[in-house]
Structure 1
Amino acid sequence: MTLRPDPTFYPSAKLAMEGPVEKLAFTLMLSPDASKPDGLAVVDVDPTSEKFGQIVHQLIMPNKGDEFHHFGWNACSSALSPLTGHAFLERRYLIIPGIRSSRIYIVDVKEPLKAKIHKIIEPEEVFAKTGYSRPHTIHCGPEGIYVSTLGGGGEDGTDGPPGIFILDCETFEILGRYEMDRGEQTKHYDFWWNLPRDYMVSSEWGLPPQFENGIVPEDLLSNKYGHKIHFWKLRDRKNVQTIDLGANHQMALEIRPAHDPSKDYGFCGVVVDTTNLQGAIFTWWQKDDGTFEAKKTITIDPVPADADDLPDLLKGFGACPPLVTDIDLSLDDKYLYVACWGLGEMHQYDVSDPMNPVLTGKVEIGGIVKKTPHPNGKTFGYGPQMVEISRDGKRVYWTNSLYSTWDEQFYPGDRGAAMVMANVGENGGLTLDKDFWVDFPAGYRSHQIRLEGGDCSTDSFCYPSV
């Protein structure tokens, strides 16, 4: 514990944008066949450095078969909450769950180039104290660390619904389940909140049998994946409303509320519309009476393709779907970035008017059909996937792996790990940085990225921007 708030905690998103520029990034590495342990790569992102775009430290874990996916900080700007904050915590530890093993690693990155394991929470403890499995998203709240899960109890994770549990933010002990009344919620994926307005929003992917061995085509075509978003009274730990986006809108994934808590809206990305193969973004908002609504505000069309250019899973459709697998919102709430993993495109939308987004930039790289190379000439395997934005909004980073078994279905054969960066124009637009390309060790794939000092999918702010 420190004697003053961590300097990387900011009361408002605007102040965070004015903070120091990141010099390091933390990127997860996973072994898709579990032949070696997963790891954490520390990447130099300082353009003045001789090691720009290189891995400068690796931490390899002691176990195999974890499948690293998402991760997050032990503490962030939410610690400055005037009601329930822990203002004297440090942003020091990365919480890294194994989505396949249900094991959780607490990694000390106080000295990033000497990152080390601080604690390991074994899966048996997760099962015993929560009844949940397959931990996924990490969010640092004012009073603890919230962990969403994709599985319930039992070997296949279907003995009861998945949900959220809470870790103590200092001891990393599992405290227990979050939910007091889950209402209609039976599947889980992402979650985030508006702290001053005291509500949380969660989304749905599917249950473990629907994703662990790859996508189940019969379930997708019969609309059995998640298609609802749930609104919670945060402090009451109660689901107060569920909105069905439509059964055809399969796999409602990332939740991205406006960073400025005085704004009462956010976005959710949908992987695919089974009626037309479109990808979609929904804008949700809170009305004056306290209830919520959601409306589809962005659609991205599939591209016709020859069956010979498509994986077996898609040959019968004669088209390549966008496959919207991640979205991220800049700290000024101006630009929404949408990863179209299937098409091999990263889109930038001006969402200053959240009900009327405007496409302002696009980068093509990778893709099922296009296979667009990087400007440096290297092959970018798979497509743009996990995306992260610098706090000042000037740089956008992304990697290329979705989930090991899904990678194999949509992009058969090992395509190699990659991490790239695009520069954002003064008035929008995206340009890939030809000098930034991260090479990962052979046999690994790359997934989520965290930036030194916080980023746009980590921190929750408790004060409006001025």
Structure 2
Amino acid sequence: MSQPTVDPTFYRTASEAAAAPPEQLAYVVAFDRAGEKPDALTVIDVDPGSDAYGRVVGWTEVPDRGNELHHFGWNACSSALKHEGHHMEGLARRYLIVPGLRSSSLYVFDTQPDPRLPTLTKVVDSAELAAKAGYSRPHTLHCGPDGVFMTCLGSAHGSDGPGGIALLDHDTFEVLRQWETDRGPQYLAYDAWWHLNENTLISSEWGTPSMIEDGLVPELLLANKYGHAIHFWDLATGEHQQRVDLGAHHQMPLELRPSHDPGATWGFLGVVISTEDLSASVWRWHRDDGNWAVDKVITIPAEPADPDLLPPALKPFGAVPPLVSDIDLSVDDKFLYVSCWGTGELKQFDVHDPADPKETGSIRLGGIVAQTAHPAAPNQPLSGGPQMVEISRDGRRVYLTNSLYGSWDDQFYPNGVGAWMAEMHTVPSGGMTIDEAFFPHDEDFRGLRVHQVRLQGGDASSDSYCYR
């Protein structure tokens, strides 16, 4: 019997992924804040040898308005090499599943046969998500055992909660069911990742739809009503096992980044803000005598600022909070990148010892007060800041986009956030430089804002690896 054909972008180990050919294209979602124009999946040429380097070379719109395309993911990744239930013959990293955070619709794009011209092949509407899983406001997707896991912020028909995880069919992308079988104390949702060999899923917390819809609600923030805990689950059964509270003032633990080593039992999470001092932080989870523990390993303080330069929400504080909205861990687990969307800074940390990170690099772009320009347009102040961050498999390139969430953009950058994407080159021993030749921005995206990036062949936040 012949062996099934395996997608060459499914890598048995993280080191195999890092040694694979570099990405040629990046997929970036773009949305219209006003909901008057259709959102789109865009394709960026990231091949430095190409005449189109740094330019938008593909554009596929969705048929409806008001989606706010946000996070998205591949139908399959390297972990498919170990999951049961996959039909490996013909399985490929081919489809991008793109949810609308506001509409609760899902759009499935086929990146073959021409990866520069994705085609919309399926739409799953909000009614199906509500009826079959009891959820709304889909947020983050990962290919996993039993199906594609999709976190959702709200319950059916936009109700506030509880949020949780919907399971999608690996092949048809139809909604199968609600993943949780016993959610215990979990109510708020945001991200989910796992340690496959530990049979453990980890989930984090943001807020319900009403808590985020029109921006950050100061009264809720100061009352510590946003999420401040992470949860550990039995991956096979969907049963809640442990809740770890970070302390109520550590508001909004969002992005989860587990080690890429399948034998490891640690990972990082980013916390947006502390209500004690406006600082942001990064925490490490790890095994501790059979249970899970979480420790703060990085604190990033707020920066003093002239109140006259601050948006209304920040004037009383006289400072710019870092607002850590994304973190990303290199495939080799050596460097952690932290996006400080408020101050306009991307930080790089050496995490060879994950319990004791050391800062090794910093880049400034945008920022609420600084508005640091890109070297390609030195006289053009930038709004927004490093927000979604994605790392190439070999760790040599880091991609940034600048929009967080439409209503939050408007709240913290009331004069407009614009749209831009940037690329950093990294140094193996630590450090970063901005690629001055790579700067798609503003009208390159036809007036839309840009959010998450996915790289052709996979990236640092898309895959789990199953072998060492």
Measured against the shorter chain, the TM-score band is over 0.9
Candidates 462, 465, 468, aligned match of 1:461: 465
1:275 counterpart letter in structure 2: E
Q: For each residue in 1:27-80, what CA deviation from the matched residue of structure 2 results, as whole angstroms up to 9, or x when unmatched? A: 000101101010011000000000000000100111000001100000000100
Q: Give the count of matched residue pairs.
A: 460
Contact 1:101 1:134 in 2 (8 A): yes
- Indicate yes or no: 2:140 matched with 1:141: no
Classify the secondary structure of the residue corresponding to 2:447: coil
Shift of 1:443: 2.2
Q: What 5-or-longer segments of structure 1 have no aligned partner? A: none
Is the partner of 1:437 in helix, strand or coil?
Answer: coil
Using the alignment, how far apart are the partners of 1:358 and 1:382 within structure 2?
26
Does the C-alpha gap of structure 1 residues 176 and 430 become closer, same or farther in structure 2, counting only changes over 3 Å? Answer: same
**Contact 2:403 2:417 (8 Å CA) reproduced:** no
Which is further off, 44-53 or 146-155?
Answer: 146-155
Question: Counterpart in 2 of 1:33?
Answer: 34
Q: Give SS of 1:15's match.
A: helix
* Match of residue 339 from structure 1: 339
**Contact 1:86 1:143 (C-alpha < 8 Å) held by counterparts:** no
8 A Cα contact 1:381 1:418, kept in partner: no
- Corresponding residue for residue 65 of structure 2: 64
Q: Which amino acid aligns with 1:415?
A: V
* Amino acid across the alignment from 1:360: T
Compare 62-71 and 73-82 and name the one that shifted more. Answer: 73-82
Match of 1:266 in 2: 267
Find the counterpart in structure 1 of residue 353 from structure 2: 353
Distance 1:74 1:82, change over 3 A: closer
Q: TM-score scaled by structure 2?
A: 0.97
**Could you say if the C-alpha distance between residues 343 and 91 of structure 1 is closer, same or farther in structure 2, counting changes exceeding 3 Å?**
same
- What is the DSSP-based 3-state SS (H/G/I as helix, E as strand, rest coil) of the residue aligned with 2:262? coil
Q: Return the alpha-carbon distance in structure 1 between the equivalents of residues 87 and 318 of structure 2.
A: 54
3-state SS of paired residue (1:26): strand
Query: TM-score with structure 1 length normalisation?
Result: 0.97
- One-letter code of the match for 1:123? S
Distance 2:415 2:204 in 1: 30
2:95 aligned residue: 93
8 Å Cα contact 2:84/2:146 also seen in 1: no
**2:133 matched to 1:130?**
yes
Percentage identity across paired residues of the two chains: 51
Aligned residues of 2:410 and 2:417 also touching (Cα < 8 A): no
Amino acid paired to 1:116: T
The 5 A counterparts of 1:66-81 are 66-81=67-82
Please provide the CA RMSD for this pair: 1.2
CA distance in 2, matches of 1:191, 1:82: 17
Question: Partners in 2 of 1:84 and 1:93 — Cα distance?
Answer: 18
Q: Does 1:364 align with 2:356?
A: no
Hey, what's the Cα distance between the residues in 1 that align with 2:266 and 2:88? 26
Q: Displacement, 1:442?
A: 3.4
The offset of 1:438, in angstroms, is 1.1
Partner SS for 1:90? coil
Deviations 1:144-199 (CA, angstroms, capped at 9, x unpaired): 111000001244x22x4111011111111111010011111000000100111110
Residue ranges of structure 2 left out of the alignment (5+ in a row)? none
Instruction: Name the residue aligned to 1:322.
Output: 322
Cα distance 1:82–1:458, how it changes in 2: closer, same or farther (>3 A)? closer
Q: How far apart, CA to CA, are the structure 1 residues paired with 2:192 and 2:82?
A: 19
CA distance in structure 2 between the partners assigned to 1:239 and 1:397 by the alignment? 35
Shift of 1:268: 0.6
Tell me the residue number matched to 1:430. Answer: 432
Deviation at 1:337, TM superposition (A): 0.3
Contact 1:366–1:373 (CA under 8 A) maintained in structure 2: yes
What is the one-letter code of the residue matched to 1:393? Answer: G
